[in-house]
Chain A
């Protein structure tokens, strides 16, 4: 305790030097926290943008369903799975899919029909909010249809347009029906833009004579559960099914996130080095400037070990104070960036990566590691940078040190 008090007092003997050092360490730490949180945010943002739109974090299908999306590879008891998930408090939405043809006046195109539960989509996913024009299909079946952006353009379809749909139903017959366009999606990735035609699950079942077949259940805990926890839960709930995480479902996005990770690694190293350089140089200089003082101490009979110890304790105290200030400052700015975010739309409008549309507002993500790592690193650098010159001083001849300067 006494040692700490001595250290504290000796730090305030030269308040200006101490303030500069504290400012250097805390500001470097704060900047590191902010940039690290921003980098993490960039990555997590990419993931949540992708998973929240429609894919979800984990999907359940019948094995091999995704290979050919056959209408007949439907799930055995989707209702039971959904209610079990509900009991575990995991939000999920079920979907049916089938291929067919859509036509609007004299234009026609192939499409992948989605039978969705609009209530679940509205609660669990962002798709219903992702409308370029019009609105998502209503919660009760009303022969409404929502089209992908490019599909609508190739059909020349607008809100209210009448769409003729022809499909081969599950019983082999020709299913055909008229729908009216309630909405057109914003860009949501190439394949959705080109082929998505979204119907109410009840309308879908009628069109395809599919008796309520469900092909996919998408789970989205919005980060509440870790990916592997969620996947384990899903395989428990649906033991015979195929459980895939977004990393398997969107390999290109997964790759991209890995690339971000690699980028963050390299960028992070540069940032840490630059910050460490700042702290080290400030600390080195502060300690070197005290050579004279150490010389006097030594002449007064202080052992080298004591000098070292004093310097180390001072550095620790200094580092501690700076760490607190830095953390508060860094957290404050990161928190602001988490809530408000940086709007990058001045650089780019709508854009999509690997078939996933992105929101141009960039938010920071605060994680334990984004705060602890910078603080610990700064503290260590601070200690090392003070002990090295102190070792020199402790070994030096007191007279020599005092003569210099």
Chain B
């Protein structure tokens, strides 16, 4: 199993991240939202017709610490391209994902490798994102039932806490997921995943709300696994443009090698 994990770690690298982050709808401030609407908002926060941007990913593990600068493009849910800009040693390494297929370009040896699709179904491990975060096609609203479990002030913020219980037949490993959003604009603060015994398994923290064009978003996202408290992955968005026109050859093997 570790074999698979490591491979994913190595290769799927950032393939799906794009899916999670880019794009969002303009925020409709004011009116009170139902728990489902809150979750939909969180889900849609980073989604859009297309996106292009730059981000830095800082990964801390027990053995190493590194920082990657990445440029990404995405279109819909199906297509994404990620290229490493820094560090120098890995510059030009790129990953293309179209639907279920995934390719990697390795500039050092000037070769493209196609990943067996079975590899993608494993979790993504070099950082602390799981595959669910990366290529998940279902939306929270479809897999969970929700209730607001807290509304009020906590640590100086007015917040709403939504607890999500997976539907009995949903393909979800968690016991429950607790999402906390700001009362004022429903931007997420954190998201805590509990396992089936309702022990905390993983925490995602959203911070540093910033603005990219029309959208206000948390620009830093941190994942901390509960069983390894000294490890974390931090993603910082530096630039991002939504809903732009991308030339059709953006997601081709040719552009992968460029």
Contact = CB atoms under 8 A, between A and B. Distances in A.
Answer yes or no: A and B touching, Cβ < 8 Å. Answer: yes
Given A101-B7, A101-B10, A170 B109 contact: no
Contact of A108 (B3, B13, B87, B114): B114
B215 to A, nearest CB: 32
Contacts of A69: 2
A170 B64 contact: yes
Contacts of B87: 173
Contact of A168 (B111, B115, B119, B126): B126
Contacts of B3: 99, 110-112, 195
Contacts of B145: none
Interface string A156-174: 0000000010111011111
> What is the predominant secondary structure among interface residues of chain A facing chain B?
strand
B116 interface: yes
Given A72-B63, A108-B114, A110-B119, A176 B7 contact: no
Interface in B36-83: 59, 61-66
B2 A170 contact: no
A112 B116 CA distance: 17
A290 B146 CA distance: 103
Nearest to B109: A178
B105 to A, nearest CB: 10
Interface in A170-186: 170-174, 176-178
A199 to B, nearest CB: 15
A101 B64 contact: no
A44 B76 CA distance: 63
B89 A173 contact: yes
A239 B63 CA distance: 25
A106 interface: yes
A103 B105 CA distance: 12
B90 interface: yes
B9 interface: yes
Interface string A231-258: 0000000000000000000000000000
A51 B81 CA distance: 48
A72 B62 CA distance: 10
Interface in A94-113: 99-101, 103, 106, 108-112
Contacts of A103: 111, 113-114
Contacts of B9: 168
A172 B61 contact: yes
Interface residues on B, range: 20 to 34
A103 B116 CA distance: 10
B154 interface: no
B128 to A, nearest CB: 13
Contacts of A229: none
B258 interface: no
Given A110-B119, A174-B90, A176-B106, A166 B113 contact: yes
Given A101-B10, A101-B11, A178 B90 contact: no
B126 A172 contact: yes
Contact of B106 (A99, A164, A171, A172): A164
B174 to A, nearest CB: 24
A176 B6 contact: no
B2 A99 contact: yes
B123 interface: no
B108 A109 contact: no
Given A99-B2, A168-B6, A172-B126, A108 B116 contact: yes
A3 B199 CA distance: 89
A167 B10 contact: yes
B64 A68 contact: no
Nearest to A102: B113
Nearest to B87: A173
Contacts of A168: 6, 9-10, 126
B230 to A, nearest CB: 14
A3 B114 CA distance: 90
A99 B5 CA distance: 9
Interface string B1-36: 011101101110100000000000000000000000
A106 B106 CA distance: 14
B164 to A, nearest CB: 32
B180 interface: no
A174 B9 CA distance: 9
Contact of A177 (B109, B116, B126): B109
A214 B167 CA distance: 48
B5 to A, nearest CB: 8
A178 B13 CA distance: 20
Which of B6, B13, B89, B119 counts the most A-chain CB atoms under 10 A from its CB?
A: B6
A68 to B, nearest CB: 5
A205 B93 CA distance: 21
A135 B191 CA distance: 55
Contacts of B64: 170-172
Contacts of B106: 164, 166, 174, 176
Contacts of A70: 2
B232 to A, nearest CB: 14
B222 interface: no
11 contacts: A68-B2, A69-B2, A99-B3, A100-B10, A103-B114, A109-B116, A110-B4, A172-B63, A173-B87, A174-B93, A177-B108
Question: Which 3 A/B pairs are nearest by Cβ-Cβ distance?
Answer: A172-B64, A168-B10, A99-B6
Interface of A: 68-70, 72, 99-101, 103, 106, 108-112, 164, 166-168, 170-174, 176-178, 195
Given A68-B2, A167-B10, 11 more contacts: A70-B2, A100-B7, A101-B10, A164-B111, A164-B113, A166-B106, A168-B6, A171-B66, A178-B109, A178-B111, A195-B3
Interface of B: 2-4, 6-7, 9-11, 13, 59, 61-66, 87, 89-90, 93, 104, 106, 108-109, 111, 113-116, 119, 126
